[in-house]
Amino acid sequence: MTDLIRIARQFIEAIPHARAIGMEFEELGDGRAVISMPYDTRFVGDPVTGVIHGGAVSALMDTASGAAVMCHPTAPVSTATLDLRIDYFRAATPGQRIRARAECYHVTRSVAFVRVTATDEDESRPVAAATGAFTIDRPAGMGP
């Protein structure tokens, strides 16, 4: 197991809601992260349709975004969400795993910018997309 994967697992284990939702890393590296969560009836927002609550989807997208920042080549030592603007396009299909793909595409001295998309098994039709800004702390002496 690489150090990056070990650190990523520790990242998720340190976040109680990430553990509770059942988030799992699928890919990680070079400013990109893919994290998924299984369908779980505990997180259904509409019992009539069985659709997962948007809050669970947003938590997944936020966590994937933070992971993308943490594995960026500039190697920040910590991050926190400043802003995450999410557009919801459709309900995730009940019973299907939801996957968030995040990319940290720009980093300044103290802020990282991220794009993230959430999909279910129909990857041609996103469930949601977001852009975000995250604080970053760097090791002493490191610049952008």
Return the pLDDT at 1: 43
Q: What is the rounded distance in angstroms from the CA atom of residue 127 to the CA atom of residue 119?
A: 5
Asked, for residue 103, whether it belongs to a domain, the answer is yes
Burial profile 73-94: b = 16 or more Cβ within 10 angstroms, e = fewer: ebebeebeeeebebeeeebbbe
Q: For 85-123, what is each residue's pLDDT tens digit?
A: 999 999 999 999 999 999 999 999 999 999 999 999 999
Task: Determine, yes or no, domain membership for 144.
Answer: no
Contact 126, 144 (CB under 8 A): no
Q: What is the pTM of this model?
A: 0.90
- Domain enclosing residue 32, as ranges: 3-137
Of 74 and 105, more confident: 105
- What's the structural domain count of the chain? 1
Q: What is the CATH number of the domain that holds 36?
A: 3.10.129.10
Domain membership of residue 143 (yes or no) is no
